[in-house]
A = this chain, B = another copy of it.
Amino acid sequence: MEYITSVKNNKIKELKKLLTTRGRRKAQKYLLEGEHLIKEALQNNISLNEVYVTTEYLNRDRLHLIRDYFPQAIQITEEVAQVITDTVHPQGLVSVVDMPEQPDLDMSQGRWLLLDEVQDPGNVGTMVRTADAAGLKGVVLSPDAVDLYAPKVQRAMQGSQFHLPILVNDLAETITVMQQHDLIVYGSLVDERAQDYRQVKPQKDWALIMGNEARGMNSALLEKVNANLYIPIFGKAESLNVAVAAGIIIYGLSR
């Protein structure tokens, strides 16, 4: 097994670049970390370019797994693992994956989640996971949302990135296409003048937009949607976390 012990190794220098949005876009590759995500990728026919394992990971009784599944794996030290991951305690298994081409999706029907400039990696990942759990058809991210391929986003999606298509597209354009096909598009607002999500009549197909954590949805989009929904606040909190709010509305609309 090839063994890399230096952080100055050329392969490692190239991998390090994949920790930035710019580096990922240039290489059209991204990093997947941890046994759970890498298993999910394999189960969903995602091909792995290279696999890196730490000595510590191999010592945790995982040598048979590596021999069976990743015969070409490259062994690295903990120090090298630190350099190519953004976690304090790397999980010991890292892989390089090609960025998929943008899927060509039929937006004329189905249920959709649209994320307008959502910035927190954990929030985006958690919402993709919720969209998967609720059986939505796909997720559309605005181009100014956090990068889908950032390691933190990939981790928070917990494999859901391989279960449903995720597209980056202009949301105004997306809404126009959906509405041309009579799909109802809901915005979300922290404002009691909007419609209480509990009053919405169950529909077969719809799209829901969640906005930026601090500023909410872009006003241009608020005007385009069929209706804006809000979640009533019964206590003293100013608002709900955006991923929690998405879960409440998605499951509310799915009843």
Q: Which residues of A contact B (CB under 8 A)?
A: 122, 126, 129-136, 158-160, 163-164, 198, 231, 233-241, 243-248, 251-252, 254-255
Contact = CB atoms under 8 A, between A and B. Distances in A.
A238 B245 CA distance: 20
A164 to B, nearest CB: 7
A237 B133 contact: yes
Contacts of A234: 133-135, 254
Given A133-B233, A133-B237, A198-B255, 5 more contacts: A129-B241, A129-B244, A132-B235, A241-B247, A247-B248
B126 A237 contact: no
B247 A133 contact: no
B236 A132 contact: yes
Nearest to A134: B234
B240 A247 contact: yes
Contact of A243 (B160, B244, B252): B244
A235 B126 contact: no
A239 to B, nearest CB: 7
A216 to B, nearest CB: 16
A232 B159 CA distance: 18
Nearest to A244: B247
